[in-house]
Amino acid sequence: MSHPHPELGPPRPLTEGGLRITPLGGLGEIGRNMTVFEFGGKLLIVDCGVLFPEEEQPGVDLILPDFSSIRDRLDDVVGVILTHGHEDHIGAVPFLLREKDDIPLIGSKLTLALIEAKLQEHRIRPYALEVKEGDRERIGPFDCEFVAVNHSIPDALAVAIRTPAGMVVVTGDFKMDQLPLDGRLTDLPTFARLGEEGIDLLLADSTNAEVPGFVPPERDISQVLRQTFAKAEKRIIVASFASHVHRIQQVLDAAHERGRKVAFVGRSMVRNMGIARDLGYLKVPAGLIVDVKVLDDLPDEKVVLVCTGSQGEPMAALSRMANRDHQIRIVEGDTVVLASSLIPGNENAVYRVINGLTRWGANVVHKGNAKVHVSGHASAGELLYFYNICKPRNLMPIHGEWRHLRANADLGQLTGIPRDRTVIAEDGVAVDLVAGKATIAGKVQAGYVYVDGLSVGDITESSLKDRRILGEEGIVSVFVVVDSTTGKIVGGPNIHARGSGIEDEAFADVIPKIEEGLSRSASDGVMETRQIQQLIRRSVGKWVSDTYRRRPMILPVVVEV
């Protein structure tokens, strides 16, 4: 088993006839999936998704893969294959196409429809190649065959990439639901055929590798939803991912049975469900869907709202309802259903929303107290079954945190994949497939790129550290006027604190220390503004730390006259 090392240098030159695989996101994390394949001087990208920020990334809207390693080679990119339409696989495409807008996009009908709608908002009209399971397309030097897989969104695909260096299969996100709502099974016969032909490297979804057994069928949720709808006395509010078409279909069916009307809330939900309905993936009985504006004219027991916010996202509709910051006001007797899983890292945010909703009297149904979610990712039993069918020569776990990647690697070895042919990599680690063996070749830059409003990449880790300090410890500003000739104080110091829990009057005790320090520095001939600021910062910071055991941001402002 190969282990990435933080001291890895830049990748060695790619051996002639070799294939290089470089994940730029999705390894060691849930989201930001993006992998670059290089052969014969050309690049093929599989997926280009986003990661959603956590609490320690205040103010950040999205986190993108780092394109810097391919930025000078965008002319070599022959296409971007999108395995399915979830944000963690397509959300960064607009930002990539901003850099070169004629890179072809390859995907299934629904996947392309979702990304094209998103690109319209960025005023980008992409070149798109629609494919379906069973199709085989040559994309530059890459011979790509597309295979049906079952996931929590319709039209998901795996891809087999053939080059003279060997065949690589990328599963994308998948599971093996044997009773899918749309009847579209993961195509095990095709995977078996590929296995007989010889899969040289398998890149396999790791998200549920720690979970034993098999994922229950999606249709199991229907009965729970029906029971929940039957018990509900007032409005029902269902929160789900804006692209979870199968889950929304079951909500629509349950609402129709109870004679309720359904309104979609949130721009992404309205857009995606409209696309799914227009393309025939969402079956909507006539008259079931109404505009949210007419809800006030309907009795509460006839209303179902479907919204975003199942992960506790602060600006999503459900979070705003919990905070009383939305036009829809939660009242006693409302039923709220969180029809989704908890993405690792979002637990605190989700439970904060649940508590907020409960405070206003809602009955909250979630994965912790009812079976309102099944995963879209293969569990350990399915992965074992899958590896025995595919019989890959080399395995590279993808799509998961470290614990998921290692668990997936262990499963592969149980089925006979040799330890020295199991590659655990991380974002930026280049893996070369040469002479039938996968080995680590080096590492490229693959850090987080933060989107904050219209800013892309301007926010750094240092900026986030400052934001965290401001949010947790507050700020203390110190205003001083000094004589530019003598360095002596002629005005101030005036000290004000915000968010630190320290009253301004308390700083009277530190003013003599500042004056003493500045006087000493003036006599030593230290009169540069930057040095004076540092002296003030140290004096105030030490006093606050010693007195209050706090570390607010100290902002000295020095004016010379």
Annotated binding site for substrate: 373-377
The tokens describing 442, both together, are 């080096």
User: What span, in angstroms and rounded, lies between the C-alpha atoms of 166 and 163?
Assistant: 5
Q: Which residues fall within 8 angstroms of residue 442, CB to CB, at 6 or more apart? A: 8, 9, 10, 11, 12, 429, 430
The tokens describing 276, both together, are 């799914």
3-state secondary structure of 133: coil
Q: Which residues fall within 8 angstroms of residue 251, CB to CB, at 6 or more apart? A: 225, 238, 240, 262, 304, 306, 339
Question: Cα separations (Å) of 484 from 444, 489, 513, 525, 556?
Answer: 49, 10, 20, 11, 16
The C-alpha R_g of the chain, in whole angstroms, comes to: 28
Assign residue 338 a region (left: φ > 0; alpha: ψ between -120 and 50; beta: otherwise).
Answer: beta
- 195 contacts 70 by C-beta, under 8 angstroms: no
Geometric angle at alpha carbon 53, from 58 and 29, rounded to 5°: 140
3-state secondary structure of 222: helix
Q: Is 278 exposed, middle or buried (0-12, 13-18, 19+ CB in 10 A)?
A: exposed
What is the DSSP-derived secondary structure letter of residue 141? T
User: What span, in angstroms and rounded, lies between the C-alpha atoms of 35 and 47?
Assistant: 7
- 282 contacts 114 by C-beta, under 8 angstroms: no
Q: What is the DSSP string of 264-302?
A: EESHHHHHHHHHHHHTTSS---TT-B--GGGGGGS-GGG
Going by C-alpha positions, the residue among 6, 67, 12 that lies closest to residue 439 is 12
The tokens describing 111, both together, are 């996947």
User: What span, in angstroms and rounded, lies between the C-alpha atoms of 60 and 308?
Assistant: 18
Instruction: List residues forming the annotated binding site.
Output: 373-377
**Residue-wise burial string across 524-550, b where 16 or more C-beta atoms lie within 10 A, e elsewhere:** eeebeeeebbebbbebbbebbeeeeee
Question: Cα separations (Å) of 404 from 47, 48, 54, 131, 325?
Answer: 20, 21, 19, 30, 37
* Sheet of 136-139, strands arranged across: 136-139, 142-148, 157-163, 166-170, 201-205, 395-398
User: What span, in angstroms and rounded, lies between the C-alpha atoms of 151 and 553?
Assistant: 47
Going by C-alpha positions, the residue among 555, 438, 429, 26 that lies closest to residue 201 is 438
- 165 contacts 434 by C-beta, under 8 angstroms: yes
* 384: enclosing H helix or E strand: helix 380-390
- 152 contacts 122 by C-beta, under 8 angstroms: no
